[in-house]
Amino acid sequence: MEQLIVDSRKLYRLPWNMADNGITWLEPTAQCNLNCYGCYRKNIKNSHKSLEEVKHELDFFQSQRKSDCISIAGGDPLLYPHILELVADIKSRGIKPIINTNGIALTKELLHELKKAGVFGFTFHIDSKQGHGRSKEWFGKNELELNELRLHYAQMLADEGGLACSFNSTVYADTLQYVPELVEWAQKHIDIVDTMVFILFRYITPQLPYDFYAGEKKIEWTDVHYHADHEEVTNLIAQDVVKEIRKKFPDFEPAAFLNGTHKADDFKWLLTERIGTKDKIFGYLDNKFLEMVMMVYHWKNDRYLSYASPKTLSLGRATLLNLWSINKSVRKALKKYLKYVGTNPLRGLKKVHVQSIMIIQPVDFMENGDQSMCDGCPDITYWKDKDGNEKLVWSCRLEEPMQYGDFLRTTPRKTHEVEKETEKIHLDQN
Ligand code: SF4
């Protein structure tokens, strides 16, 4: 039997679900100061919600589900005029406020104010297809050249102190090659970079063999915000990324996942936890370790863990020395650590950190037209339909209920129709 790249049966299935989750997604504004190619939201000027509206959404979230953190996203939330009050409000509810931003509007002063307001951490979205909007020096740079910009933000957070630091990037067919070096870069900065997230690109394209329906009405797929008029690779899966990372880190081993709503062995969220210093990774924490962390955290806090603080993540040595007797992967990592220190005792002074690498694989279309989403979607957000019914919906597809009143259904299209459509688009373009 062919060896699986990642075997779902050996991983811990993250316990996140609709009612009890690590994360919930909040969009106080749809305005952004960038126009990223792969973005799933329309950039709408002056679309800021009032603070009351946003607080109402938070009340609704809390009436529906437990959540360890709120990802404040958008648009870019740093453009939201009430961002400080919003952060303080989330903090006062006992939830961790995380800001998902491109970083452009972040100044040292604002960062300081946000820290005072209670922000727990930041996720910076930086990748090479973000178009114009950043200062000229970053335009046209590839993923590796952008590491200097990533480092700028990581350092900014480290100087302020005590803030969780994550980086997000969308992965396209032509940028997949850079992922291993981004993972290597993250290791070099393991003391100030807590998490790297790789999100696989998904768009509706001419060759996607489906028709789209809003209720009974067939709609033009080119009217949906997230579509491309040209062909694109939109079916990369999490295992492709693991395969790529293993070219540089052969023992890279994910530990936990969220499956697809329509496929048990899909890796919609695939989490790897590694333990090491800036110059050496001692090992990868396993499924049992993650299970223990989630269960203990839930038992203590009545919610599942999303982000850990940088202080907790810097307790790598204590983890190795205290937990080796109850976990195999810690034991394995400890052996490597002792060897590392044994050859040069001064290395014992170096801090050992835990770092997360997450791969996210959004919607996949099944052959029969079903859409496989993340089972236990963490990035669920608020939606109020035209009849005033409030709901929790997938944030990655929010444009659909906004435009059509509901999510779109898909049915398979015949191959010759797909070819005709692709041809028509090519003619229109010429
Ligand atoms: S379903 Fe969409 S919004 Fe939810 S976690 Fe998956 S990609 Fe994110």
Tens-digit pLDDT profile for residues 69-106? 999 999 999 999 999 999 999 999 999 999 999 999 99
84-98, 225-239, 247-261: the lowest-pLDDT one: 225-239
Q: Which of 125, 396, 400 to mutate to test the pocket of ligand 1 (most atoms within 8 A of CB)?
A: 396
Whole-number Å distance between alpha carbons of 62 and 82: 20
Higher pLDDT, 4 or 43: 43
Lowest mean pLDDT among 37-41, 276-280, 391-395: 37-41
Has residue 105 been placed in a domain? yes
Assess if residue 416 is contained within a domain: no
**Distance between CA 405 and CA 398 in Å, rounded?**
10
Which of 361, 374, 398, 400 is the pocket-test mutation for ligand 1 (most atoms within 8 Å of CB)? Answer: 374
Q: Tell me whether residue 64 is in a domain.
A: yes
Mean pLDDT confidence for 131-157? 91
Which residue in 103, 94, 161 sits closest to 133, CA to CA? 103
DSSP for 220-248, written as a single string: -GGGSSSB-SS-------HHHHHHHHTTT
What's the gap in Å between 201 CA and the centre of ligand 1?
12
Let me know if 11 is exposed, middle or buried by CB neighbors in 10 A (0-12, 13-18, 19+).
buried
Instruction: Write the pLDDT tens digit of every residue in 337-361.
Output: 999 999 999 999 999 999 999 999 9
396 lines ligand 1 (CB under 6 A): yes
* C-alpha–C-alpha distance, residues 30 and 44, integer Å: 5
With a cut of 70, say whether residue 425 has pLDDT above it. Answer: no
Helix (H) or strand (E) holding 56: helix 51-64
Residue 419 has pLDDT above 90, yes or no: no
Residue 3 predicted with pLDDT over 80: no
Q: What is the pTM of this model?
A: 0.95
Q: For residues 287 and 271, is the Cβ–Cβ distance under 8 A?
A: no
| % of the chain exceeding 90 in pLDDT | 90
- Is the CB of 398 inside a 6 Å radius of any atom of ligand 1? no
pLDDT of 258 reads 98
Check if the beta carbon of residue 77 is closer than 8 Å to that of residue 110: no
Q: How many CB atoms lie within 10 A of CB 251?
A: 10
pLDDT band per the 50, 70, 90 thresholds, residue 173: very high
What pLDDT is recorded for position 146? 96
Rounded to whole angstroms, how far apart are CA atoms 46 and 44? 6
Q: What is the total count of domains within the chain?
A: 1
Q: In this model, does residue 399 exceed pLDDT 90?
A: yes
**Of 2, 15, 19, residue with least CA distance to 66:** 19
CATH number at residue 330: 3.20.20
Structural domain for 192, as ranges: 8-201+236-397
Atom of ligand 1 nearest to the CA of 362: 7
| Residue 6 CB–ligand 1 contact under 6 Å | no
Which residue has the CA at smallest separation from atom 5 of ligand 1?
Answer: 377
Pocket test for ligand 1, best of 373, 392, 393, 400 (most atoms within 8 A of CB): 373
- Is the pLDDT confidence value at 30 over 70? yes
Q: How far is the CA of 257 from the centre of ligand 1 (A)?
A: 13
Angle at 148 between CA 145 and CA 153, to 5 degrees: 135
Q: What are phi and psi of 193, to 5 degrees?
A: -115, 120
Average pLDDT of the chain is: 95
**Calpha distance 353→369 (Å, rounded):** 44
The mean pLDDT of 117-125, rounded to a whole number, is 98
Alpha-carbon distance of 418 to 211, in angstroms, equals 10
Range in 126-130, 371-375, 380-384 with the lowest mean pLDDT:
126-130
If you average pLDDT over residues 289-299, what whole number do you get? Answer: 98
Q: What is the pLDDT of residue 429?
A: 65
Given a cut of 90, is residue 135 above it in pLDDT? no
Residue 415 has pLDDT above 70, yes or no: no
pLDDT band at residue 430 using 50, 70 and 90 as cut-offs: low
At 430 the three-state DSSP class reads coil
Q: Does residue 362 have its Cβ closer than 6 Å to ligand 1?
A: yes
Q: What pLDDT, on a 0 to 100 scale, did the predictor assign at position 282?
A: 98
Q: Is residue 213 part of a domain?
A: no
- The best mutation among 259, 270, 379 to test binding of ligand 1, ranked by most ligand atoms within 8 Å of the C-beta, falls on 379
Report yes or no on 264 lying in a domain: yes
